[in-house]
Structure 1
Amino acid sequence: MSDVIHNSSATSTASGRTERSATASKTYAAFLVIGLLLLLIAPAFLYPIFLMKLLCFALFACAFNLLLGYTGLLSFGHATFFGGAAYFTAHVVKEWGFPPEIGILVGAAGAAFLGLIMGFFAIRRQGIYFAMITLALSQMFFFFCLQASFTHGEDGIQSVPRGHLFGFIDLANTTNMYYFVLGVFLIGMIVIWRFINSPFGMILKSIRENEQRAISLGYSVARYKLGAFVMSAALAGLAGGTKALVFQFATLTDVGWQMSGEVILMTLLGGIGTLIGPIFGAGLVVTLQNYLATSQFPVTIITGVVFMICVLLFRRGIIGEFYASRLGRKLGFEHRR
């Protein structure tokens, strides 16, 4: 009799999980469709340059979250990949005459190469030592950009032409440029989603939860960490190269340590370890910067106050707290982080 009761209970639990998973899938699909529709019509209601900046930084934050949220590695040097790709893309497009799509790919490839070099040294350490090594290497790259001839020092690379996508779509047209940036953003998000839901991504999550157990199971933890680091760098580079075309310049601001701090802030505000949390955090920070820039309020102080409030009230980040709430659990979001 006890076996029958136990089997019945297990069946009912499995059935409940299946129902929650199905509900979560339908909810996710609905949110994705609504979000995509809003992005498609957004230029009719909001300033396209603002929207493009938001999409670039949202992709940057999601790329950073791939390393912090799903691998458990806190990097203080991600501005290297974002700003480095901006310089690479701006240089090859302006000086070598490359088309925009090739320029962005060159930027992403350059960022991946920088990630391979930086990751090779950084993954040998853990915790705060890992973070400090990434910061130190990032500062080295900052001073390289300050002194290198192709970056033009403090002036940066300016007047970068947007060119023609595939040779016939004029990206000087703001509407065309917006939908190009939207396409890059969606491609980046699909890559991230596929990455974290692949067997490789599952192993990264196991490393984040218990690295020693992953080692005992025979996984080469250092190799997986390096792979995640390079992928995160490449996607950050994709965002940086796109940003260079949007604003038509690349400067030292893109590789400064403040940029690394900014993407950490975006990710923490939205919720680490969630797919859409960094997007929400990036939107919040970019919106504050955009609408407070012309006011009398100091943007950094307001941003700091918002961050303090979120840390006190939303320990998991805004989206993370929603997932952990009763409504989030009912919708099954706690199983689809």
Structure 2
Amino acid sequence: MLDMNTTTYTPVHDGTKERATLSPPLKLALILIGIAGLVAAPFFFYPVLVMKILCFALFACAFNLLLGYTGLLSFGHAAFFGGSAYFTAHAVKVWGLPTEVGILVGVLGASILGLIIGFLAIRRQGIYFSMITLALAQMFFFFCLQAPFTHGEDGIQSVPRGYLLGFINLGNQMNMYYFVMAVFLAALFIIWRIVNSPFGMILRSIRENENRAISLGYSVTRYKLAAFVMSAALTGLAGGLKAIVFQLATLTDVSWQMSGEVILMTLLGGIGTLIGPIIGAGLIVTLQNALATSQFPVTVITGIVFMVCVLLFRRGIIGEFYNSRIGRKFGLNTES
């Protein structure tokens, strides 16, 4: 559960001491089914919509690396998402860099921002940490509003998709989709490796009991900063992809509302779970797309969905499923 006084996530345990575990063949089969579903998705759904879901799913997974596994609630992750979108768009359109290099420029820019913001915020805890990230992100928002290269409220428009590796035309929707899918799967694997590495175990120990981690000799500040920068870099990857997909980078990408959206996606799906943020992002983006042409206010409907989730699914959709009888029977956990 999320405690706003300490801004840490504490999993709710059900007292079950032993669980069965999914067999490796079954895990492999589920992974292959998921990949097959992604490969087939553009043949059944609008490719741009699926690409948008993948971009925001990566954004939510990167944010969850900080909140769900380290216990740090940032209110300023839009700075990394939107900042990378601006850096990527400018590098590709103005500097004429190849698409993949432009995205790497965005990731590098987001990493530097993460290092600066993280260095200033990481020394505070709880709500003070969250407020510092929000304040610094708002400072970056006003910088983007005034900086000449961002073109103010007009944003950077008509960003060329270019050619991947010099010969794959990303102007083709299917080529662009499979590029985004490949990057998403690679980033998801990186997050899985981080979470299941000794480094990830230390992050979880910090989340559960920071004082005990300090007593064991770990430099908690360094681990937090490292997690913050990793989260910012992966968020930047999502922002760079989004700029190329929509050929646009605007102030919406760096606004505080964007930070709120990714928090909503992560909480809705289930913080501290690997696929929860993906489910949450898919639901929110699909809901926004479905209501875009209706008379219903999107934010009100989204808020109602969030209230229902908080009241009925305290652990999020995936978190509740893991804690259900079926989840306990098959030994599903946050790394499943």
Pair in the same fold by TM > 0.5: yes
Partners of 1:24 and 1:332 within 8 A in 2: no
Residue correspondence of structure 1 range 73-88 to structure 2 within 5 A = 73-88=72-87
Determine the C-alpha separation between the residues in 2 that align with 1:336 and 1:201: 11
Residue correspondence of structure 1 range 109-148 to structure 2 within 5 A = 109-148=108-147
Partners of 2:272 and 2:334 within 8 A in 1: no
Specify the alignment match of 1:10 in structure 2. none
Q: How many residues align?
A: 321
Partners of 2:53 and 2:282 within 8 A in 1: yes
Specify the alignment match of 2:299 in structure 1. 300
TM-score where L is the length of structure 1: 0.93
Determine the C-alpha separation between the residues in 2 that align with 1:286 and 1:234: 22
1:32 aligned partner, one-letter code: I
Does 2:205 align with 1:206?
A: yes
Residue correspondence of structure 1 range 156-195 to structure 2 within 5 A = 156-195=155-194
Residues 295-316 of structure 1: per-residue CA shift (max 9 Å, x gap): 1111111111111001000000
Does 2:152 align with 1:149?
A: no
Query: Per-residue deviation at 1:237?
Result: 0.2
1:307 aligned partner, one-letter code: F
Determine the C-alpha separation between the residues in 2 that align with 1:254 and 1:285: 16
Specify the alignment match of 1:330 in structure 2. 329
Determine the C-alpha separation between the residues in 1 that align with 2:334 and 2:82: 35
TM-score where L is the length of structure 2: 0.94
* SS of match in other structure, 1:218: coil
Residues 141-172 of structure 1: per-residue CA shift (max 9 Å, x gap): 00000000110111100000000000000000
Partners of 1:24 and 1:333 within 8 A in 2: no
Residues 103-156 of structure 1: per-residue CA shift (max 9 Å, x gap): 111101110000000000101100100000000000000000000011011110
Extract unaligned runs of 5+ from structure 1. 1-12
Residue correspondence of structure 1 range 306-317 to structure 2 within 5 A = 306-317=305-316
Determine the C-alpha separation between the residues in 2 that align with 1:227 and 1:91: 27
Q: Which moved more, 1:293-302 or 1:156-165?
A: 293-302
Determine the C-alpha separation between the residues in 2 that align with 1:25 and 1:141: 45
Determine the C-alpha separation between the residues in 2 that align with 1:232 and 1:27: 30
* SS of match in other structure, 1:77: coil
* SS of match in other structure, 1:316: coil
Structure with max Cα Rg: 1
1:241 aligned partner, one-letter code: G
Partners of 2:110 and 2:236 within 8 A in 1: yes
Query: Per-residue deviation at 1:31?
Result: 2.1
Residue correspondence of structure 1 range 173-322 to structure 2 within 5 A = 173-322=172-321
Residues 270-326 of structure 1: per-residue CA shift (max 9 Å, x gap): 000000000000000000000110111111111111110010000000000000111
* SS of match in other structure, 1:333: coil
1:193 aligned partner, one-letter code: W
* SS of match in other structure, 2:294: coil
Specify the alignment match of 2:31 in structure 1. 32
Partners of 1:285 and 1:303 within 8 A in 2: yes
1:35 aligned partner, one-letter code: G
* SS of match in other structure, 2:158: coil
Partners of 2:47 and 2:177 within 8 A in 1: yes
Query: Per-residue deviation at 1:25?
Result: 4.0
2:172 aligned partner, one-letter code: N
1:139 aligned partner, one-letter code: Q
The 1:24–1:324 alpha-carbon spacing in structure 2 relative to 1, beyond 3 Å, is farther
Query: Per-residue deviation at 1:24?
Result: 5.3
* SS of match in other structure, 1:69: helix
Partners of 2:276 and 2:319 within 8 A in 1: yes
Determine the C-alpha separation between the residues in 2 that align with 1:241 and 1:46: 23
The 1:270–1:138 alpha-carbon spacing in structure 2 relative to 1, beyond 3 Å, is same
CA RMSD of superposed structures (Å):
1.3
The 1:244–1:335 alpha-carbon spacing in structure 2 relative to 1, beyond 3 Å, is closer
Determine the C-alpha separation between the residues in 2 that align with 1:24 and 1:283: 27
